[in-house]
Amino acid sequence: MGVSGTGKTTIGNLLSAKTGYAFYDADSFHPSENINKMKAGQQLSDGDRLPWLNNIHTFVLDQIKNHSIIIACSALKEAYRKILGRQLENQCCWFFLKGDFNTIRRRLEKRTGHFMPTDLLQSQFDILEMPVGCIEVAITLQPTSIVDFIISKI
């Protein structure tokens, strides 16, 4: 979990390759209305996010019946993490990819082909509730080091 630009997708893909667990990016669960809103530079409201979070949660409950999975999701508020983790308390481990605003902004400015505009980064930091009970990982580490650290914790 973490704000846009922390490397959630990169780390998720690398972690999947190393563990064999399927990886899913929560961005792919957004309804088109949410994506269009973000492309237009508009923040999502909690109301916009609720169906998205519920879709992810339903998907995860179904998938973990058969195997472990990896999900990359911003999960910026504690309320969002509670929705996502409902009924999964003993099967879910949260990792917080943590970085400072300027580092992440520079990353977003270099990123191409993503619907999340750099101008919305501040809004994500504004609503970010620092997670309790998550394992923090500094995004300044090399991706392979981040993956090795996560594997050491799971």
User: What are 136's strand-pairing partners?
Assistant: 96
Task: State the pTM of this model.
Answer: 0.88
- Please give the torsion angle defined by the CA atoms of residues 63, 60, 121 and 48, in that order, rounded to the nearest 10 degrees: 130
The residue ranges of every structural domain in the chain are: 8-153
| Per-residue model confidence as pLDDT tens digits over 52-102 | 999 999 999 999 999 999 999 999 999 999 999 999 888 899 999 999 999
* Tens-digit pLDDT profile for residues 106-124: 988 886 666 666 778 898 9
Angle at 115 between CA 110 and CA 119, to 5 degrees: 65
Q: What is the CATH number of domain 8-153?
A: 3.40.50.300
| Structure confidence at residue 37 (pLDDT) | 87
> Mean pLDDT across the stretch 21-25?
97
